[in-house]
Structure 1
């Protein structure tokens, strides 16, 4: 298994796991790789240090993955990205988990909740910037969120 540090044209860093270097090259050539943060398909492999086992035998108490200063192993996105990038993804995943996607009906649902026509709940959806401004002018609290493709699917 090859674990590669990858980066898109927008400087978002992430990990990719491949069966071999040939698998990586093949997937890259077929356009199957994209940035989990922005969806960009201009992916390049970054330099990374290999993991070397220099001990004659492994200590059973030693973690298999690199640990932080507390000894905890932190797995997940991003492998080498900025802390801000990781915080953004964590916050966005939390928003997705705690809201209902009402899609294109967002403005109608927000207005109906504001006027007491339907029960209050946490929703998210899509609307134009103009309609979002109308909602704000009506006293309805809305907040634009970026659309991140990585949040829609489980990262593999």
Structure 2
């Protein structure tokens, strides 16, 4: 079963926010991804807070996020981010220096982990829609890099392999 909470693909005015652009496969049983998220910018604090605050209540509450650094803009000289501040409260976040998976691992309060493809914010709406649909299809076997049309080694295994070590060291 695929759910698509208000996916808005309309053009937006600068500074104007649209509804959360998220597509999920709620069977969460197979494939390299559980869905896709198309953030509106490369600002991790703003976009992760939007994800946390507007994530479908029927799926659960987000407890932690593990992100791929190349998907987000870094603030020069700023300390690395360990928490984001959302209306629903603070949420722990983490990343790995060598991670270039284009995936956001979402740990729910139930303990369930979801792997969301992060579609670059500047992606053309038609392409973003197709990529999100494929990522949320439980029959999808393509890696995140392949779905995004990127070349290079598949690193989709990195996030899961090191999540527990990272979470334990930053708990």
Tell me the TM-score normalised to structure 2 length.
0.22
Of Structure 1 and Structure 2, the greater strand share is in 2
Q: Which has the larger radius of gyration?
A: 1
Of Structure 1 and Structure 2, the greater helix share is in 1
Tell me the TM-score normalised to structure 1 length.
0.24
